[in-house]
Each structure stands twice: as C-alpha cells, then as structure tokens.
Amino acid sequence: MIDTVAGLAADPSGSTAQDVVLRAENVHVEYDGERPTRAVRGVSFELRRGEVLGIAGESGCGKSTLAYAVTRMMKPPAQLTGGSVVFRDREGRETDLLALEGEELRAFRWNRLSMVFQSAMNALNPVTTVGRQFDDIYGAHRPEMTKSERAERTKALLEMVGIDAGRADGYPHELSGGMRQRVVIAMALALEPDVVIMDEPTTALDVVVQREILDEIERLREELGFSVIFITHDLGLLLEISDRLAVMYAGEIVEYAPAERLTDARHPYTQGLLRSFPDLVGERRELRGIPGSPPDLRGEVVGCAFADRCEYAFEPCRAVTPHLLDIAREGAAGWRAACHLNDPEHRSSVSDAEGPQS
Ligand code: SF4
C-alpha cells in the first residue's frame, strides 16, 4: 500500500524531506489493563538516510515498545492508540507503516525494515541449521531464487560479517555468543533493507566482542548505506556510535540532539544519565545515579514526568507539561529539550531557579 501522508510537523533539524527515510509523528502505545499503561506518549522523530539515531533511557521508559510499534511487531496487551510512521523510499514514495496489514506488512519487513534483537539465541531457531534459517527468509521474500543462488547469498552474507561460510551447516548452539549476534545481523541485512532497528544488540556480550560487533555494524553501514535506530540504556556507547540521539523518559522524548552536543545536555534527566556512567578516557569523576524511579504511567501525568526526581524542579514543573523546545541559542540544528528551565516564559517566573544552563 502506497499512501502519502500529509500534515507532518515541520522538520526541526533542517533536514530536507529527501533526507528522511522514516518519520514517526505523535506515536502513542498503551498496554491494556484495568488502568491502561501509557507506555509511549506522543513520540515524534525522524531518521535520515544513512544515519545512526540512538535512543537512550532507563529500562521501562518505552524504547523497546517504540521499536515494536514502528515495526508493527506488538502483541496484545500492547496496542497502538495514535500517530503515524511514514517510510520514504529512494524514489520518494511514502508508505504509512501503521496502515499496512497482512501481506503488505509481511512484505515490508525484512525488505525495507528489519530488526536485530538483544538475545541472538532467542532470535535463532535452535533446531535448524544456520543456512536453513537464511533459506526461510529467501523462501518468504525471494521465492524466485534458486538453491545455488541462496547458498551463494548466505555464503556472502556470513563472510560479510566475518564468519566462515562453512558455519551455514552448523546449528546456533555451535556458535559463540558474538558469532550468533553476527549471524542475526547478517540475517537482518539479507534483503538489503533501508532501515535496521537494533534493540540492545550488544548488551549480552562482553566488551571485547561488543567492540568488534559495533565496528562491524559501522563498516557495514558505510558499505551498504542503511540507516540504524540503535536502542540501548548505555548512553556512553550511543554517544560514540550515533549521529543524533533521542533520550526517552516515561514514554516521551525529553531531549533530542546531535550526538556531539549531548555532553552539554539541557535536560536534567539526560544530565543524570551522563553522570551515571564512567568516562574511560576523561578525568576521574564521581558517578551519581538518578534517585527515585520513573512515574506510574497508568493514568494522566500532570506536569513534568521527571519532577519527583529532578533537583531543579520549581513551581511550574508540577502544573505545566514541558514540550520539546529548540535550544536555538546554542546554534545546533535540531537540538531540543523538554524542560521548563529552557523556556524563558517559565524560567522567568522564578528569579532564583538554578538550572543546567545557568
Ligand atoms: Fe526538572 Fe522542571 Fe525541567 Fe522537569 S521541567 S526536568 S522538573 S526543571
């Protein structure tokens, strides 16, 4: 189904429509229950062609739920309750992903948009050889491929991610954790998608293997030109590999910035995340976690969702919901934060408000 979606908000980052491969607008997801949990609350973002967009935040802030919503892989009790996600191909044709159903949706996945999950062992079938699992993808999406073409393609894909082609005849349990994750990445790239969503793809791996996999992803991205949405709680890792970053808290994006500017974060939650991990190359500094826990999202959140944990909270914070505002004075296109301390209207209401930019 090809469907042009009109009325999307103006791009805050200065990118042109041609640059954008995926645009999510005002996406809402709820987990059904006696009191539904509003896990994703009005999230909008853009993914440009060939870039890595990092999505960071604590566990339970809605990162993975957002990924499942974008890929339409949600299962009850999760349900999409609003918004649009538009994919734009290289010819400029737009597809409303949330309107796709049945065969159209199945054909879209893997071909245009694929996903790499955290646990490769769960993503792979333990009783089927690696090669057969690649064959399943070709069978579903490229039925015209001959047996020898499939074997050749699998060989090339495995070698592309640094695995001996002979491993195609083995089973997943015969591979190390790092090799399994490489196989999953190769499968995600099998049909040369435009977008790959990676949800904590290296979290279960040791740091040496993690580094190898990250280098591999970067090399493949440069070679093949796909875009990546990289989801992790590890902000330090995202600062290293992302072009732009979106920080999620309580189901919303609270800061959205070019990666090189985020070390100068303008949202107290982002600042708290930055203080929570060690800088291996910089000066020694005290690590401080963020006290408290995210709010209960069953029901309305009044004011700023971070207010109970924020050391800078002042009077408007509990009454007025902050929205993403341009940090225009810093001169970085697309840098936005949802905090009243960045809003002259609210900041002027208390003369002694001490804030991140003071
Ligand atoms: Fe803290 Fe208020 Fe900013 Fe929320 S709006 S992050 S409570 S200062």
Task: Break the chain into its structural domains and give their ranges.
Answer: 125-188
CA distances from 236 to 48, 54, 104, 204, 215 (A): 22, 11, 38, 16, 15
Residue 272 CB–ligand 1 contact under 6 Å:
no
Contacts of 316 (CB under 8 A, 6+ apart): 303, 340, 346, 349
333 CA distance to ligand 1 middle (Å): 22
Strands laid side by side in the 52-56 sheet = 113-116, 195-199, 227-231, 52-56, 244-249, 252-258, 336-337, 325-326
Structure-block tokens of residue 236: 């330090």
Taking the CA of residue 268 as reference, the ligand 1 atom at the shortest distance is 6
Which of 339, 342, 343, 352 for a ligand 1 pocket mutation test, highest count of atoms within 8 Å of Cβ? 339
Taking the CA of residue 314 as reference, the ligand 1 atom at the shortest distance is 2
List, for residues 131-152, the tens digit of each pLDDT value. Answer: 999 999 999 999 999 999 999 9
What is the rounded CA–CA span in Å between residue 39 and residue 37? 6
Phi and psi at 289, nearest 5°, equal -75, 180
Q: Residue 330's pLDDT is what?
A: 65
> pLDDT 10s per residue in the chain (358 long)?
333 333 233 344 555 555 899 999 999 999 998 899 999 999 999 999 999 999 999 988 999 999 999 988 888 999 999 999 999 998 999 999 988 988 899 888 889 999 998 776 678 999 999 999 999 999 999 999 999 999 999 999 999 888 999 999 999 999 998 899 899 999 999 999 999 999 988 877 778 778 888 888 888 899 889 999 999 988 888 988 999 999 999 999 999 999 888 888 999 999 999 888 776 666 777 777 888 999 999 988 899 999 999 999 999 999 999 999 988 666 677 889 999 998 877 777 655 445 444 3
Question: Would you say 333 and 339 are in contact if contact means Cβ atoms under 8 Å apart?
Answer: no
Which of 312, 315, 324, 358 for a ligand 1 pocket mutation test, highest count of atoms within 8 Å of Cβ? 312
351 CA distance to ligand 1 middle (Å): 15
- Taking CA 245 as the corner, what is the angle to CA 81 and CA 96, rounded to the nearest 5 degrees? 35
